Amino acid sequence: AQTVTQSQPEMSVQEAETVTLSCTYDTSESDYYLFWYKQPPSRQMILVIRQEAYKQQNATENRFSVNFQKAAKSFSLKISDSQLGDAAMYFCAYSSGSRLTFGEGTQLTVNP
Amino acid sequence: SAVISQKPSRDICQRGTSLTIQCQVDSQVTMMFWYRQQPGQSLTLIATANQGSEATYESGFVIDKFPISRPNLTFSTLTVSNMSPEDSSIYLCSVGGTGPYNEQFFGPGTRLTVL
C-alpha cells in the first residue's frame, strides 16, 4: 500500500521569507501524481500544486514550487515570499488511479 | 474546477441519532468521494460513490454505518448512522480522480459534533 509521510508536524516562517515543507512517499508504481493541498482554518481543501511522476521538471505555481526527487521518493514544497495568508495546514498527497492518499499534514505559521 | 457545496456546514447531534450530509456539484462528474477528518488528523477516504452502482467502501468503513447515495451525476449523500462521540469529525466530499492529473477538488466540509 502507498504511504505518505510528512515529518514536520509544525513549521514557522517570517513573512517575506522562504520555507520548505518535506514529504516522502512509498510506492511500487511508476506512474503516479503528487499534490500539495492547503487547508486554512476555514477547512476548505485547496489544491496548491501538482506534479506528474513522469515529468522530470519540477512544477511551479507563482510563489509555490516543488523539489521532486523520484528516486528518493521525495516531494518537498517551497513557498517563497511567504504571506500571512499562507498560514494553514499543508497536506502532501499521492495518487495512482483515482484514490488519494494523504500525509499527516504540516501546520505552517507565518509570523509578521 | 467544479463548484462544490455541502449541507449542513456544521451540526451538533445527540448520540444514537443519524445525520445525512449532502454534496452538490455544479457540473456532472463521474466519481465522488467521501472523506473523514478527525480532530487534528489527516483525511481518510470513507468510500467512492459512483452513479448507478453501489459505493465502494475502504477498509474500516461499512455501509450500515455510512450509507451513501448517488442518485445522479451532480449529487451524493453520506449518512452517519447511530452516531457516537467518536464520529465527531469533519466530513468532506470531493470530485475528480479522472482528469489528466487525477486531481480532486473538495467541498467546504461539514463539521459534526456528537454529544
pLDDT for position B102: 76
pLDDT for position B97: 66
Per-residue pLDDT of chain B (115 residues; tens, 9 = 90+): 789 999 999 999 999 999 999 999 999 988 899 999 999 999 999 999 988 888 999 999 999 999 999 999 999 999 999 999 999 999 999 998 666 777 899 999 999 999 9
pLDDT for position B98: 67
State yes or no: pLDDT of A96 exceeds 90: no
A33: nearest CA partner in chain B: B101
pLDDT for position B96: 85
Q: Do residue A43 and residue B43 have CB atoms under 8 angstroms apart? A: no
Contact (Cβ atoms closer than 8 angstroms) between residue A100 and residue B104: yes
| Residue of A20, A23, A1, A24 lying closest to A11 (CA atoms) | A20
Q: Do residue A52 and residue B101 have CB atoms under 8 angstroms apart? A: yes
Grid coordinates representing B17 are 441519532
Task: Return all residues near A32 (Cβ < 8 A) that are at least 6 apart.
Answer: A53, A94, A95, A96
Amino acid in position B43: L
Which residues of chain B lie closer than 8 angstroms to A99, CB-CB? 45, 48, 97
B99: nearest CA partner in chain A: A98
Give the span between the Cα atoms of B93 and B49, in whole angstroms.
10
Q: What's the average model confidence in pLDDT over A92-110?
A: 93
Which residues of chain A lie closer than 8 angstroms to B103, CB-CB? 33, 35, 47, 50, 95
Contact (Cβ atoms closer than 8 angstroms) between residue B69 and residue B86: no
| Residue of A107, A2, A102, A4 lying closest to A47 (CA atoms) | A102
Give the span between the Cα atoms of A12 and A23, in whole angstroms.
16
